[in-house]
Amino acid sequence: MDARSVILAACTLILFALHQDFWNWRTVYPLVFGFLPIGLAYHAAYTLAAAAWLAVLVKWAWPAHLEEDRQRGPEA
């Protein structure tokens, strides 16, 4: 495993761990946009952060060696 793979795997684990936001457990405040409780707003933001991190993984950890981009007829 090279250094880049280790760093990417470690960051993925950290993102996975950040899902457990125990510090927001019993609080409603602050209300984001005036109506979104922090416990919900945090996880909405977490979802967007996951999309951003997955874009990084697609860029830097794409398993290009598996690709066999043969033309196989028209697209469905």
CB of 7 to other proteins, least distance (A): 16
Binding status of residue 2 toward other proteins by CB under 8 A? no
Q: Of these, 6, 10, 14, 31, which contacts other proteins (CB under 8 A)?
A: 31
3-state class (DSSP) for residue 6? helix
DSSP string, 7-62: HHHHHHHHHHHTT--GGGTT---S-BTTTB-HHHHHHHHHHHHHHHHHHHHHHHS-
Binding-site ranges for other proteins (CB under 8 A): 12, 15-16, 19-22, 24-28, 31, 34-37, 39-40, 43-44, 46-48, 50-51, 53-55, 57-58, 61-63, 66-69, 72-76
